[in-house]
Amino acid sequence: MRSSELVVHAPFGGQELARIQRPSAEEIEEAVQRAFVVFEKTRSLPTFTRVAILRRVAVELERRRDELARTIAAEAGKPLKAARTEAERAAATFSAAAAALESQRGDMLPLDVNAASLGRWGVVKRVPLGPVLAITPFNFPLNLSSHKVAPAIAVGAPVVQKPASQTPLSALALREIVLAAGWPADAYAVLPIAGAAAEGLVTDRRLPVVSFTGSGAVGWRLKALVPKKRVALELGGNAAVVVHSDADLDDAARRTVSGAFSYAGQSCISVQRALVHRPALEAFRGKLLLATAQLVVGDPLDERTDVGPMIAPEEVTRVEAWFAEAVAGGATVLTGGTRMGACVAPTILANTTPSMKVEALEVFAPVVSLVAYDDWDEALRRVNDSKYGLQAGIFTQDLARIQRAFDVLEVGAVLVNDVPTWRADRMPYGGVKESGSGREGPAYAMEEFTEPRLLVIRS
């Protein structure tokens, strides 16, 4: 293999999927320059043209759903049924961007608030900052690409995308679809370069917007490199769900299992901590174990599979070490805790502490810690006892508890009677503390990619 060649392997089975030539330094320079130049064209495209492009992409993504799902399943190891859902969500993301673009409004400001401003009024509109550098992760290779590309098209901004090295095929497929829909070829480049090479793109002045989804260590370092740029970060988490004794425990257990173990827990809002009211702990634990035992682990291309492989062998090794550390510190493995080739068995831990890696850090694996609490405020404090703050789920029927959680929890979103793993693609999505800055969701990302411009008129 030449050093300039990227070989894509399937996480499950390890077979070679594709060989892609990495772009040379000259080709990277040309792609950025083309994006910089074509911005004058894309920013001037009329609204109806951009809406039409977005809607055509949505239709094509839906039409090619099964084909795209197989690509996602093969390169990312995501179970096929979950990969289909991701393809459907990508289509919905482009539709949401079209709707947000059609419903955009400016502001008219009366400025004659004192005698010196007599006869003046203002109009505010949002204008694109320039080409967007999109750095995307492996775990949602199509939809998280869509969450950066769709709002960029909506505001008229070219995109230079650096996809995860494990999953470039979904991004390349999206580019093909976007260009076929009428977006200029120079306005969307996919550069399958190594992670270290991305720093040169981050610091390039021709790319004034950086939208990054990935690890906190990388994201915050990139943001520090360019303090004068607009940088949106969607980073990690160790999401918690709180289950009170007045909740529907069957529903809470089913949703917790799905939220903890879908896509082998490789989601920044995967349920990692389940805090359960002590009077309901025994019943909830039994329901959780029963639902977990019914999961099918294995080949992501098998329609029956619920939990597929980890993205790389070294991730399995890391998780095993975290299990060993937790058990050595007094944690109990209620189920799982083992590897199955490239897969980690869905694992439920008890007797963990906030200092253990499985609680304190982002495990990014099919693991959930079961923790008892005695009163609601104690549970909320335990949720907040984290450097992360993406989303939290609460299960209760009490409105006062819901309001208290909404007021107190240090997260980007609180989900009532659901797990934090749920996300609608048009909602404002993002975190606080070390989970990031800025918000995704097409309408909100469009604000991240633009700035207000004021026109003042004296009559």
Task: Say if CB 97 and CB 60 are below 8 A apart.
Answer: no
**Among the options 60, 75, 86, 234, which is catalytic?**
234
Place of tokens 């204008």: 127
Question: Pairing mode, if any, of strands 391-395 and 240-243?
Answer: parallel
Torsion-angle region of 336 (φ positive above 0: left; ψ -120 to 50: alpha; else: beta): left
Q: What is the DSSP string of 19-58?
A: EEEPPPHHHHHHHHHHHHHHHHHHTTS-HHHHHHHHHHHH
- Residue 62 sits at the vertex; the CA angle it makes with 135 and 209, to the nearest 5 degrees, is 20
Structure-token pair, residue 64 = 């090619």
Task: Say if CB 315 and CB 363 are below 8 A apart.
Answer: no
Distances (CA, A) of 143 to 63, 138, 147, 197, 443: 15, 11, 6, 23, 16
3-state secondary structure of 453: strand
Burial class (CB in 10 A: 0-12, 13-18, 19+), 215: middle
CB atoms within 10 A of CB 271: 27
Element (H, E) at 168: helix 168-180
**Among the options 60, 268, 343, 447, which is catalytic?**
268
Catalytic status, residue 234: yes
109/249 Cα distance (integer angstroms)? 51
Catalytic status, residue 320: no
* Torsion (CA) 34, 37, 40, 41 in degrees, nearest 10: -40
261/380 Cα distance (integer angstroms)? 23
Question: Pairing mode, if any, of strands 132-135 and 209-213?
Answer: parallel
Task: Say if CB 333 and CB 359 are below 8 A apart.
Answer: no
29/47 Cα distance (integer angstroms)? 30
Element (H, E) at 368: strand 367-373
Q: Which are the catalytic amino acids?
A: 234, 268
